[in-house]
Structure 1
Amino acid sequence: MAETLPALLKRQRAGFGWTQARLAQELCAASGRPTVTRQEVYRWESGRRIPKFWLPHLATVLQIPRTELERSIASAKEKSAALDDFFPRGKARQRQLCPPRGRLGGGDADDLSSRVHALRLADDVLPGKDLIRPALRELKTAVRRTENGFSSETAERSFLVPLGELAQIAGWIASDAGRQGVAERVYRLGIAAARQAGDAALAAQIAGCLAYQWSNNGRESEGVALAEAALAEAGPAAPPRARALFWDRVAWARTMTGDAQGAMRALGEAESALARHRDEAEPAWLYWVDEGELQIMAARVHTELRRPLRAVPLLTEVLARYDTTHTREHALYLSWLAVAYADANEPEEAAAVARRMLAMSANLGSHRTSRRGRAVLTALHPFHDVPEVAEVLETVHAEYRNTAKGAH
């Protein structure tokens, strides 16, 4: 699929070393019409407007064949339509999230960005049950603040980007708390904010999170379609680590439909994308994407596809160096290792890992770890005659009986 017009314009302009204002000046000179402003260039590059009249002048000034510009416009429409299958742009979605002018400025955006990053770091070590209330409170406060309007278009975009990021992490937290309906509504808000800000990579990040949620909650086919639409929305101009993350989401979505070939291809694309990562500018939300995370996803994919001989070495290597303060993730990765050992017909090893995982996730307050705990017990059950497995199952049953007794 061709590069979208916003991405093409940004890339070519950057290649000349021009600012948006400089491109506007060049267009005025080439056309003889002093009517192009920096704001108009910003609208083209953010996908808000299509420069139909200015196409021949853009082709001349940026030295791009007009046919390529036209293909890029068609590509943008295709990608937008793909995501619109899930997020239709009806009248309500076409409305601005906030007035075009007003009080909020760059300092407000910086403050929100700091609060968002603090929430991300908290999510690394705290479960959704503990974070959902403060996360949703932060989001409601940020949305209310937009009612005051913005001091400029630049301030508007600067605030909408961290607002979208806040919606992403709040949605992720809500999902971990088991509030899937809340998470989906928050994700949709985040996609609207990211699109309004012209941040295609952020819109793809949020859509990818929702695709992951759908894949894990009985909407596997829709998860595949949305994960792939998100990847297309981001386009080839997205930072390499972002594309690696989006390909990982496609791999997981394909895995959950049983498409082993599609999952393997997506994992390979994720590795290739990450290999292109250098020191390019990229958003803060990519801080955790690295080779280790790709190994974890590969191991999870192999476990779900019942390929334990590939999954066990990867998970063992990752867990040997994993930060144990990240309790939820540690427990999740142990859960896949336990299942992989069970699939490898190593019930004693599976029981040992399961014991650690279940103890670590007890009363953690994470919907994800609770679900994975049930998956581990299901994997162990065929080996209930093995003493080590029987001990784990009896411990779980005893805890359940004690909990039930205490409830009466």
Structure 2
Amino acid sequence: MPGGERRCPGCGCRLSRYNPDTSCASCARTAPAAPSPVSVVPDGVWQDPRVLDALRAGDFGRLSRRIRHLATLRQQDLADLTGLSQSFLSLLESGTRRLTNIDKVAAFLDGVSAPADLVAVHLPGRMPPTRLADSTDDSGATDPSLPWTAHRMVTALADAVEGPTMERRNFLTATGLALTAYIHHWSTAETEPLERAVAGARIPDSLLDHLQATTDHLRLMDASDGSGALADLGKAHLNVLLRLLRQGSYREATGRRLAAITADTAAQTGWFTFDSGHPVAAQRYLLGALRAAHAGADVRLGAGALSYLAIHGYSTGRPRDAVVAARAAREKIRHLDAPALHAMLLTRQARGHAKLGERQAALKALGQAAEHCSRGRSEHDPHWLYWMQDGEIHSQAGSCHLDLGEPAPALDSLVRAREAHNPAEARTRALIMSRASIAHIRNGDLEAGCTTAHDALTLAERLRSARLRDHLEDIAEELAPYRDTPPARDLTERVIATLPLTEGRT
């Protein structure tokens, strides 16, 4: 500069040659503070037996405490690394809260630099596991390349009921290529004859009618009460079906129907298990349900299992898996005039696209879903898809807009969904209201957001659903910037008090 003239880089004013600072006093006051150096977790932490034990047990509160002790970190340091709030970590370490949301689990493990070979959850920026099981899974029941026979179907479902070994329970999961391989084999493998001739009475149609009615009744209970108390009932019912498949005497038509009821029951049990907060165990049921649907030669039940796998995908940080599953199901049923089934699968695909930030693809899928839904049901639509109607389209559209960062259209859709849904379906209404509460808050209307959240909490107090619990936790996080206001403070206290009541247990 001429004559050694110096100017402030912030506002451009001329600085005195005698001013030792590099900016003027005004800019210096408003300049952001220099970021503090980011702490890291040393590699040696992952050789500590107590860390490994906490990781295997999925006890993230104990894991957090041990990591901080070994790495000499404050809770705020760990909050900066993981993206979780310091207050949440405090509750986590005290045992008051649990870390069950798979997105937050992934964020925590990635933030503390957990080695990829110790966990099988898909961490951001890391290669997801491509095998469905490893050497600790002796049955091989979940290997998609094994023959798609009735025996293998029963083995896979028995494996789901009994559960994997304790060491693998928290982290064994199928993603990416492994899930794609499973779907491919379901779609292309030949179906073997399904009959069993042994001494004794044959399985009558009347018994199959009662077995299907039990599955249908459990499904209706789930819609009104949540899945917290149903996973064990579904498991017990599935055990009865597996015993009949193993020990009963039946011809081809009866065997196919028995396998179809088994597929329906396995998919529902997988859903109950997922809604109870156990996504890894849930996936094993759903993959087994695919095998049972294949044995029963019922593509609609296979599509239903894939729709739950799609929900599993976009809810556990794997939205691309959701898109893959929904598209594969739609391709398999493309010849069926089943508008409700097509509409349902398109909403699942839309949710995956929205989570990925693919706005045009999400809106296109929602539009196609609405077109199919407007046609009403046909005789080819499955009886278990009774709930697919305009309210469901609006509900899924609202969730998509929230994921896309569009609270105003999200709120419009969720209000329509609330008006259209059956009041008896308490969990569904609570979920819709919790999303609407978040949309209100993001739209700048804190009062409406709190009022709507209180309505959701009134329903939540008598429901047991891990998904609903996660939504309530999301509301609490949305309220964090307003914590000093009485409405937000009162609502947050009520959310914390309600969370234990919504805990789903199997």
Q: TM-score, normalised by structure 2?
A: 0.59
Change (3 A) 1:202 1:277: same
Matching residue of 2:181: 85
Give the residue type in structure 2 aligned to 1:246: L
CA contact (8 A) 2:326 2:349 kept: yes
Matching residue of 1:268: 367
Aligned residues between the structures: 322
Deviation at 1:184, TM superposition (A): 0.9
Q: Which has the higher helix share?
A: 1
For structure 1, the residue ranges without an aligned partner over 5 or more in a row are 1-46, 49-80, 404-408
Matching residue of 1:227: 326
CA contact (8 A) 1:190 1:203 kept: yes
Change (3 A) 1:402 1:137: closer
How is 1:298-377 mapped onto 2 (pairs within 5 angstroms)? 298-362=397-461, 364-377=463-476
Deviation at 1:109, TM superposition (A): 2.2
Deviation at 1:264, TM superposition (A): 0.5
Matching residue of 1:3: none
How is 1:237-256 mapped onto 2 (pairs within 5 angstroms)? 237-256=336-355
The answer to whether the aligner puts 1:291 opposite 2:390 as a matched pair is: yes
Q: Deviations over 1:30-70 (max 9, x none)?
A: xxxxxxxxxxxxxxxxx99xxxxxxxxxxxxxxxxxxxxxx
SS of alignment partner, residue 217 of structure 2:
helix
Matching residue of 2:209: 110
Change (3 A) 1:396 1:284: closer
Aligned-partner Cα distance in 2 for 1:255–1:288: 22
Deviation at 1:401, TM superposition (A): 12
Matching residue of 1:165: 264
Q: Deviations over 1:247-296 (max 9, x none)?
A: 11101111121211111011011112223335424321111111121111
Aligned-partner Cα distance in 2 for 1:227–1:248: 9
Matching residue of 2:22: none
Deviation at 1:349, TM superposition (A): 0.9
Aligned-partner Cα distance in 2 for 1:402–1:115: 29
Deviation at 1:84, TM superposition (A): 5.4
The answer to whether the aligner puts 1:218 opposite 2:317 as a matched pair is: yes
Aligned-partner Cα distance in 2 for 1:123–1:263: 28
Deviation at 1:321, TM superposition (A): 4.7
Matching residue of 1:277: 376
Matching residue of 2:70: none
Deviation at 1:180, TM superposition (A): 1.4
CA contact (8 A) 1:220 1:257 kept: yes
Change (3 A) 1:289 1:315: same
Aligned-partner Cα distance in 2 for 1:402–1:232: 41
Matching residue of 1:176: 275
Deviation at 1:309, TM superposition (A): 1.7
For structure 2, the residue ranges without an aligned partner over 5 or more in a row are 1-147, 150-176, 502-506
CA contact (8 A) 1:129 1:177 kept: yes
Aligned-partner Cα distance in 1 for 2:500–2:322: 39
Aligned-partner Cα distance in 1 for 2:341–2:441: 34
The answer to whether the aligner puts 1:258 opposite 2:357 as a matched pair is: yes
Aligned-partner Cα distance in 1 for 2:396–2:469: 19
Change (3 A) 1:401 1:204: closer
SS of alignment partner, residue 306 of structure 1:
coil
Change (3 A) 1:94 1:240: closer
Change (3 A) 1:286 1:349: same
Matching residue of 2:63: none
SS of alignment partner, residue 129 of structure 1:
coil
Deviation at 1:150, TM superposition (A): 4.2
How is 1:75-154 mapped onto 2 (pairs within 5 angstroms)? 85-87=181-183, 89=185, 99-102=195-198, 103-154=202-253
Displaced runs of 4 or more, over 6 A: 93-98, 400-403
Cα-Cα RMSD:
2.9
- Counterpart selection for 1:205 from 300, 304, 316: 304
Aligned-partner Cα distance in 1 for 2:368–2:245: 39
SS of alignment partner, residue 479 of structure 2:
helix
Aligned-partner Cα distance in 2 for 1:401–1:187: 27
Matching residue of 1:190: 289
Aligned-partner Cα distance in 1 for 2:295–2:360: 36
Matching residue of 1:65: none
Give the residue type in structure 2 aligned to 1:347: L
Give the residue type in structure 1 aligned to 2:478: A
Aligned-partner Cα distance in 1 for 2:349–2:418: 24
Give the residue type in structure 1 aligned to 2:256: R
Give the residue type in structure 2 aligned to 1:85: A
- Structure whose CA Rg is larger: 2
CA contact (8 A) 2:350 2:365 kept: yes
SS of alignment partner, residue 257 of structure 2:
helix
Aligned-partner Cα distance in 2 for 1:340–1:207: 29
Give the residue type in structure 1 aligned to 2:285: V
SS of alignment partner, residue 286 of structure 1:
coil
